[in-house]
Structure 1
């Protein structure tokens, strides 16, 4: 089962606050454990939405909107793509993760569609 693990943005991540050296080291160790277990397929941190753009679709029209974007709680600061046996395994891995932000944070786990879902 493939899952996308989404690290939700916070005011700190949207302000461009970089992780401490201690957090970088802890995340590095966590990512190494994911790699050794064959779970980690990809992952990275995202720059704040002030560096981003959105393209809005309405029929044939496209409108480009420059960041930053409101609603920090709905924004993404980083992601992992994991291969796990089931959602319980994904939850167990997230529980082992260092807190990705200086304060309270949230991580969302979403399964990806597989070809078998459409048959």
Structure 2
């Protein structure tokens, strides 16, 4: 089971304030533990949103809107992530609570989310056909 530990941004990370040497060392040690346990897939920090773009699709099938950063509400932004592959949600939780405060100012916030596996996204064609038939029947009823 794959899980992503999403590190939320703070006013410090959005201002581009670099972590202390102690925090860098603590995160390095934590990532080494993840790697030794064989669960680490990726761990990366992101640049502040001032260098990013937000692409939104306000109209289905329409052209996207592109907005340059910085973006408001730092606590809703992502400053980094760690992707792990573990045996259970409980194991993911145990790793997540061991992560050092990601910003070192007592403002760190980590969101733990399970990643969809490909099999979960692929639907059975028979079920899709039945759903299409049901939609057709509902359309016929609504037209009466």
Question: Is TM (by shorter chain) over 0.5?
Answer: yes
TM-score bracket for this pair, using the shorter chain length: over 0.9
**Aligned partners of 1:115 and 1:29: how far apart in 2?**
31
Q: Does 1:34 align with 2:30?
A: no
Q: CA deviation at 1:105?
A: 1.5
TM-score, structure 1 as length reference: 0.94
TM-score, structure 2 as length reference: 0.78
**Aligned partners of 1:65 and 1:116: how far apart in 2?**
34
**Aligned partners of 1:73 and 1:99: how far apart in 2?**
14
RMSD (Å), alpha carbons: 1.1
Q: Which residue of 1 aligns with 2:116?
A: 113
Q: Does 1:95 align with 2:103?
A: no
Equivalent residue pairs, number: 119
Q: CA deviation at 1:53?
A: 0.4
Q: Which residue of 1 aligns with 2:139?
A: none
Q: Which residue of 2 aligns with 1:104?
A: 107
Unpaired runs of at least 5, structure 1: none
Higher helix share: 2
Unpaired runs of at least 5, structure 2: 124-144
Higher strand share: 1
Q: Which region of structure 1 is more displaced relative to structure 2, 53-62 or 21-30?
A: 53-62
**Aligned partners of 2:106 and 2:87: how far apart in 1?**
31
* Structure 1 outlier segments of 4+, above 6 Å: none
